[in-house]
């Protein structure tokens, strides 16, 4: 019994979309375009470290944020 492999129905230049698309962010998370604001990164760092950031750490977090201006 021979099994024929399935051949994809694609042509060069076709746009490929992922099989799974993100449709929900849990209802509590902001949309991706505003999710990495400097204030959020600072808040996360403080929560992860269990203490307030020093002025130097706070400045670095603002600088390194993808959405910092």
Whether 23 is covered by a domain: the verdict is no
Whether 43 is covered by a domain: the verdict is yes
What residues make up the domain containing 42?
A: 34-64
The tokens describing 61, both together, are: 């977090």
Q: What is the reported pTM?
A: 0.43
In this prediction, residue 14 carries a pLDDT of: 76
pLDDT per residue rounded down to tens, the chain (69 residues) = 678 787 777 777 777 776 665 665 566 777 766 766 777 778 888 888 899 989 998 888 888 876 666
Domain count, the chain: 1
Whether 48 is covered by a domain: the verdict is yes
Provide the CB-side half-sphere exposure for 8 (13 A, CA): 5
In angstroms, the CA 33 to CA 24 distance is 14
In angstroms, the CA 59 to CA 62 distance is 5
DSSP state of 66: T
In this prediction, residue 61 carries a pLDDT of: 82
Whether 57 is covered by a domain: the verdict is yes
Q: What values do phi and psi take at 30, rounded to 5? A: -70, 165
């Amino acid at each position: 019994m021979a099994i024929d492999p399935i051949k994809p129905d694609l042509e060069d230049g076709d746009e490929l979309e992922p099989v799974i698309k993100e449709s929900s962010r849990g209802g509590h998370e902001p949309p991706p375009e505003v999710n990495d604001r400097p204030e959020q990164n600072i808040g996360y760092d403080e929560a992860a470290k269990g203490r307030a950031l020093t002025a130097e750490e706070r400045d670095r977090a603002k600088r390194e944020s993808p959405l910092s201006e």
